[in-house]
Structure formats: C-alpha cells, structure tokens
Amino acid sequence: MGTDRVVAGRYRLGSRLGRGGMGTVWAATDELLHREVAVKELHLADGEQSLERALREARGLARIRHPNVVVVHDVVEEDGRPWIVMELVDGRSLAEVLREDGPLPPREAARVGAAVAGALLAAHQHGIQHRDVKPANVLLDRTTGRVVLTDFGIARVPGSTTVSETGAFVGSPEYTAPERMEGKAAGPESDLWSLGALLCAAVDGHSPFRGESIGEIVHAVAFADIRPPEAVGPLLPVVQGLLERDPARRMAAADVQTVLVAYAETGAEPPTPPTVPAVPKARADGGERPPRRAGRRRRLLAGLGATVLIAAVAGGTAALVVLRGSGSEDRGHATTAPPTSTAPPTTTALPTTTAPPTTTASPSPTVPAPSALPAGFRTVTDEHGWSVALPDGWVRQEVPPRVYYWSADHAFRFGERVQPPGKGTAYDVMHGQDVAARGAKGPYRGYRDGVVTRTTQNGEEAALWEFTYDGFADGGGPRRTFDLCWVQGGVMYDIWLSGPLDRTEKTRSDFDTARLTFTP
C-alpha cells in the first residue's frame, strides 16, 4: 500500500519495498532535490538508546564510498525514530533473481561475488563488518547490472554497541560463520564465510547449509563435512578458500576479488593447486586441524595470472586479466614530485601539433591483431616507441615525464611514465605511494579504498594499485584509478587509467585491455 506521509519535511513515502526484523524500506521522493530515494524506517526496541546506536551506525556507513555499497544520503529523526535515506536501486535482489530466474552461470556468479568482495573490503577498511551477507541483501540494477551490497542493519560499526552484543542473535543462520554461530569473537573474516555461502547459492539456488530446522543448520555450519555443490564448478578453489572454519585460514577479500574478476572477465578458470585441501571437518576432541600449506594463495593467484594471460592471447580476446590493485593517477613515484595541476586539459590547451592516435599497420607479435581487439579499440603507437590498444578517438597530451591519452569527453584518461628503477620492488614503490596518499597532505583529495596487490606483467614481478579519490580540482566528481607498475629491461614502467566513479566497470575494462596490449 502506498502512503503520502512526508518524513523530515522532504521525503514523501511511496510504496513499501520490503520489511524485515530491523526495519521497513519505502520508495520515496526527495521533494527538495527532486530525486527518487529509498527510506528505511528502523524498528527500535529500547527507545532512546536504540536511536543513538542506530544514528551512529548509519553515520558510520555513510563514510563508505564504494561503487558496490549502497549510498547513504541522509539520516533523519521523525517521531523519536531514525530514518535512513539511501539511493534507490532500480532492480531486484539476488534472492529474487534466483527465485524467479533460477541459478546464475558461474561467470555471472563470479561477477556478483567479486563486487560483493570489493564492497566488503571497503567496509572492513573502515572497521565496519556487515554480518548479514546473503542474496536478499545484494541488489542487481536492472539497467546497468551494477551490484550493490545493502542493508547494514546489523553491521558492527566502531564505537557502537551492536544488536548481538545485547544478548540476541540476529542474522541468517544459513549464511552465518561458525565462530558467530558458536558465540565466539568474530572479525571481518566472518563476512567472507558468508560470501562463500552466497557464491554457492548463486550457482545452486540455495545455501549449502540449508536445513529443515535451526538445529540442522547449526550442525551443518559448525560440525558436518562441507560439500560445496557441483554447480560451483570452476569457482571451487575460491569457495573452499572462503568456507574455512578457521577464520585465520580464510581467503582474503582482495584475493577473492582478484580471482573472481579475472574469471568473470576472461572465462579462464581459476586453477586448483594440488595443495588445496578439502574443507576439513571440525574436530570434536579439540585436536588441531591439519596446517594450511604455505604459499597456497600465492600459487593460486600466480597461477591465475599466467593462465588468464595465456588464455586471453590464445583466445583472441583483449578483455583480460584483472589482478586487483590500481592507480598512479597524477603523480610520480617516491623519487618525483607530483605535477602542479591535476585538472584535465581544455581543448585549447592540447598541443596543436599532436595528432590523434593512429593505428599501426604491423602490430608487435605480443599485441593482439586489430581484429582481436574489443569493438571500438585500435592499437596506438606512441612517438616514444611503446604501443597500446585504446578506444577510438582518444587524444594525446604530453606533460613530461608523463604521456596521457584522453577520451573525447575528458572523462577517461590513460597515462604512461618511464623512469629508472628506484629502490625496492614495484610493490614497494606502490605501497609507498598508497601510504603517502593516506596522509593528511597526500596528493589525492579524499583518497580512499586503496589496495595494492602483487601480480606479474610480461613475466616480471609487478604491483597493481586501485583507489578512489575526489577527482580533479576543477570538478567532475569522484574518480576510480587502476595503476600497474613493473620493472622490465632495467626500466620501471607505470601505466594507469582513471574514470568517473560511477563508471568504474568501464574504467576497469579499458584498463585491462590496455594492460594486455601494452608493449614497451
């Protein structure tokens, strides 16, 4: 039933979108800004204390700015209760998709899982645990396919007492980690167990811990042998890495995102290392489980990188390897000061002698032939001798020691820089940049969600840095950047690509193509 009630003098409630134990969500219109929003009316049990806690939690969630986390616009009080105003996602929950359309193919499940892993990583970096990751809380935008993690209603937020800490268990047992089920202290790793169960549900239709009673579910989660469904197929190494009963042995969110993105975008299956053990049964006698063999994650990720690169080239596709991390957007490395301006150039500022990118007649053997490139791309040979595949129409600009290529609308920018190797590895350099960016005087306004990942490029050790910041000083909004750094032939190469935060998937895809096709 619809309603014409107005909350806080500006949010006119419409139809009810859903109702749960923690609150009711309404579609609404923000009459001040003339936009559609979702408004969550929280159900409180103990009055003023619950109100204060809910407000702290909502404000904490508003700090998370990530493309796969629901955006919190406002927190208001009405009739002594808090109402959380969020973005309205036009789509269905994963639970609805599974119920109405059936299970997802493994590659689509990987895409969804990678997005959720990225959202959890961003939340955990702010000290926030979701604690209710399940298909009903994952939304899929019907137009763009964007994946959004929502409903942080029982999240653990720094400085706030959570519902479970008052003595009540809340959550969805089929997706609840065993340490939480047993009442033990639970950290961010408990969200990753839930992600493992969600991946199983995405390809099989339901959690592997489904039971007829709460007792059966508890037994399945805490004691029984864990048998992922056959439908997980190529996702089995990731599922096994997540459904580890020992939280310390679970796969990290950044690793999960790396593997799932690569598989989703290329179809190259994550390898199953011979050292990956079956998920162990809990020992009733308190004995120790077999120790995890060292290097498992490194071998999985390294094997993935080699497999995907080979598969991408051999299969004639340039939509390739994404090994998570990113962006040397507008700065040099530790040995070089950042440029004096980060604003995009105007048309008149571009050198009049600079010609648009040209297609090479005879691309290097390591670069896919033009017919193998994604539609709308062509191979560009820069005047400095290197080549790369970029979308048609991108225009060159040189700001020594950097070379940029801009999209026609100046929304996207590819950058390249060559310099002598510095001290330490490529990872050391990127890690140093990440640390510097987090400082009060870092080169990026609003720097956040920075992650540096070890990977390889052309057989050499490399580092990938991914981050978000508030964008150029003269406007344009937040940006997402992907940056790869490696040393080859005694030279340090650095390539990066950035774009608007709300177009992260295109930025990532274009960067992946550039990474695969870049030839020094």
> Which residues participate in catalysis according to the annotation?
132
**Helix (H) or strand (E) segment spanning residue 301:** helix 296-314
**Helix (H) or strand (E) segment spanning residue 167:** none
Local structure of residue 293 (DSSP, 8 states): P
Alpha carbons 203 and 233: distance in angstroms, whole number? 9
Dihedral sign, Cα of residue 454, residue 456, residue 461, residue 464: negative
**Distance from first CA to last CA of the chain, Å, rounded?**
62
Query: How far is CA 28 from its chain centroid?
Result: 28
Alpha carbons 493 and 318: distance in angstroms, whole number? 20
Which tokens in the block code for residue 310? 């080979």
Alpha carbons 204 and 150: distance in angstroms, whole number? 22
Backbone angles phi, psi at 263, to 5 degrees: -70, -40
Whether omega for the bond prior to residue 401 falls within 30 degrees of 0, making it cis, is: yes
Q: Cβ(134)–Cβ(171) under 8 Å?
A: no
Query: How far is CA 183 from its chain centroid?
Result: 29
The per-residue b/e assignment along 169-184, b for 16 or more CB within 10 angstroms, e otherwise, is eebbbbbbbbbbbeee
Q: 65 by DSSP, 3-state: which? A: coil
Q: What is the number of other CB atoms lying within 10 angstroms of the CB of residue 43?
A: 15
Q: Cβ(492)–Cβ(485) under 8 Å?
A: yes
Q: Would you list the DSSP string of 371-417?
A: GGSPTTEEEEE-TTS-EEEEETT-EEEEETTEEEEE-TTSS-EEEEE
Which tokens in the block code for residue 421? 């190797």
Which tokens in the block code for residue 286? 């308190």
Q: Cβ(394)–Cβ(416) under 8 Å?
A: no
What type of residue is 2?
G
Which is nearest to 513 in space by CA: 388, 361, 415?
388
Q: Which residues 6+ apart lie within 8 Å of 219 measured at CB? A: 211
409: burial class by Cβ within 10 Å (0-12, 13-18, 19+)?
exposed
Per the DSSP assignment, residues forming a β-bridge with 86 are 38, 72
Alpha carbons 483 and 472: distance in angstroms, whole number? 17
Q: Which residues 6+ apart lie within 8 Å of 464 measured at CB? A: 323, 324, 325, 326, 430, 452, 453, 455, 482, 483, 484
The per-residue b/e assignment along 270-279, b for 16 or more CB within 10 angstroms, e otherwise, is bbebeebeeb
